Each structure stands twice: as C-alpha cells, then as structure tokens.
Amino acid sequence: MTVLAIGLMSGTSADGIDAALVEIDGDAAKPSLKLVHALVEPYSEEERRQIFAAFSPDYEAHKLGRLNWDMGRWLARAVDHLLSEADVASEHVQIIGSHGQTIAHYPPVSSRDGMGYGLQIGEPAVIAQLTHIDVVSDFRAADMAVYGQGAPLIPYFDYALLRSKDEPRIVLNIGGIANITVLPTDVTPDSLVGFDTGPGNMVLDGLMEIISGGTRHFDQDGALAAQGTVQKPLLDRWMHHPYFSMKPPKSTGRELFGLAHCTQMAREANGVSFPDLLRTASAWVAETIAQGIVSQMTEDFALIASGGGALNPVLMTELAARLPLVRPWESAAHYGIPSDYKEAIAFAFFAWLFAKGHATGLPHTTGAIRSVMQGSWTPYRPGTKLY
C-alpha cells in the first residue's frame, strides 16, 4: 500500500521547520521513498527568540506550556504551506511524523545513572486538529524510558536506505550537532553503531552570533572562516573536552555545546582575529567528527554527508583532509535523499513504520535494554485505526 506521509523537523539550530511530503511503499527492510515536495518554514525573529529563551533551565513552566502550543501551530502552518505548494489535499495524507523542537536533552552518562530525560515541544494534538491528519510524535521518549540515549534517531533510516554490501560507509549529518552512522558491509540492525560525535553548526553559528553582536546568525559558505588560519594551541585546548573521550553509546546537545560553551570558546580565544577564531572552530568541529569516525573504522570507507554543515566548504575541506576515504565525499542527494531535507524525510519514514507496528529502537546504538516502538500516536478523529 502506497502511503503519503509528512515529516517535520526543527533542529538544534532552531532556524526553521523542515517539512517533507513523502510517498512511501514497500516494507521496512526494503522501503521505497519518493520525495514529493519539501520546504523550509523559517521562524520569525520573535519566534526564534522565544525558542532560544526556552533553552534556559530557568524558563517558566507556564511560558513553556504556551510555547508548546504555539510550536504546534507553527508546525501545522508548515504542513499547510507544504500541501498548498504541492497541491495535495490533507485527506490524501495518511500520517505526519513530527520531531518537534528539542528543548532539553539529558541522556544517561552511564548505566549507573538510570533513565535520562528530554523534552521535545510542538503539541501533536494541535497539529492533528489544525491539519486534519493523524500525528506520530515524541520519538525519543520510549528509548530513554528503557535507559537509552534517545539519540541519534537517524541510524535506522541510514541503515534502511544507504547500506551497501560492496563497500563500508559512514553516513554523516552535520546539523547543530554532528552524528554518524557506521555501515560496514556486514552490518545488521543488531550491530548498528551510531552516535553524536559532538558539535556541528551549533558552535560555528554561536560564535558568529557573538562576534557579530547578534546581527549575523551564521557564516555563509564559511566565507569569514576561509580568511583565517587554524590556531593549533587553541584547537588542542578545545579537544580536551571530556565528551570526546567518552565511548558510544553517547549523545549530546545544546546543554554541553550551546551559547555558554560558545561564550567560553570566545573568551579563550581572546586576541585571536575573528577569521582565525572561526577557522579554528571549523577545524575543531572537523577534528571531533574525524576522531569519532576513525575510532570505529579499520579500513578505508565512503563518506555520505548531509545537513547544513555539508554546505560549508571550509568545514568539509578540513574534515576530508583527516579521513581515509575511498573517493571524494558525496552528498546524500547523490543517493536520492536531498541533503537539506534528510531528517524531515526520515521522520515521515518513522511515522510510517510506527503505523505498521514496526519497532525502530536500536539498543546497540542507544544503549537501551531492548528495542521499542518509537513515537506516540495522536489521531485526528476518535475511533480511527492505524494503517
């Protein structure tokens, strides 16, 4: 049965909502995915300000409740615009997979810590009622309830769509946080390794905000970083962060590498020019990604990259120079998965799998004690059935 599904994603950079309308057929082991239409719904400056305010541990509960409802409306707005541009009626869409916006992510550091916890906002009941489409949301909670990291979520998608029996591959996504999926030729779901290597665009964007006084949110095409040179003593100092010596399963987020960390980085770089600061930060991100990859691979491999960081030529040049690649790195678009919309497409896929009753939890990846159904279902109409 061919299904139309929508995936919604708002990442750690909180610059907008990625929305993808996807046609899905086949089965979980060999799915067929076709992107029908996709868009980015940028946040207004005021919406973005509200999201960033909510990252504070001291954010008031009633404000968070209001923001959860507002985020639901913004996600529904993105769906409306997506369907309008695609000229598709909502009654033809079977399900929405909404990741929402992560506000807090505190995974267990070790098995002795018990459960971690996290919070994604974007009220699914609001999305369902405004769009007239069933919603699957809250994809991380079930894994964290069985002592997993709840992240990264994408490795199952990478396994299903991008594994090869002919060559080992690393699938890399550089969003606010960078994460990898390790795909040796003999990989199985039970042996799949994937984890957050550390910061991605989050620190580069954060530093740009700081040095520009808030007038620029990112360094377009790494243009300013390209004018600088790597300051190795500073790079070496930054590499001592304890997260990089942790073994997977592991995941991270704004709690470790957000604005407070960026402010500390800028303070430690006192006297370093802005171009040198951004170039060194780019090299640092590349080094942390490379270190994570090399720790898992004993042979040369192909690299498939996606996310906003893959569009940064300075960052990707720094990274490629550190890796034993069998050929130049390739975009996920080369494999039919548009890089900018990979995560949104993945959440449409995960919603489809949930509707089919397929567990996507990966204990070997997240450290959970067992595999689980990832997500919670919010139907538009009472009495409806999953497909």
Strands (E) in 66-206, as ranges, are 95-106, 117-121, 135-137, 169-174, 177-183, 193-199
Beta strands 135-137; 376-378: pairing state: antiparallel
Q: Are 46 and 67 in contact (CB under 8 A)?
A: no
CA separation for the pair 316, 184 (Å, rounded): 22
pTM of the model: 0.93
pLDDT digits (tens, 9 = 90+) for 299-337: 999 999 999 999 999 999 999 999 999 999 999 999 999
In angstroms and rounded to an integer, the radius of gyration of the C-alpha atoms of the chain is 20
Residue 91 has pLDDT above 70, yes or no: yes
How big is the CA angle at 290 (ends 284 and 296), to the nearest 5 degrees?
Answer: 145
193-199: strand order across its sheet: 193-199, 177-183, 169-174, 302-306, 330-331
Query: What is the pLDDT averaged over residues 228-249?
Result: 97
Q: How far apart are CA 97 and CA 131, in angstroms?
A: 13
What are the residues facing 204 on neighbouring strands?
none
Reported as a pLDDT band with limits 50, 70 and 90, residue 8 is: very high
Indicate if the pLDDT at residue 1 is higher than 90: no
**Rounded Cα gap, residues 112 and 88, in angstroms:** 49
Q: Match 């769009």 to its residue by tokens.
A: 131
Q: Which residues of 245-265 are buried (b: 16+ CB within 10 A; e: fewer)?
A: eeebbbbbbbebbbbebbeeb
Across the chain, mean pLDDT equals: 95
52 CB burial (10 A radius; 0-12, 13-18, 19+): middle
261-300 pLDDT, tens digit per residue, is 999 999 999 999 999 999 999 999 999 999 999 999 999 9
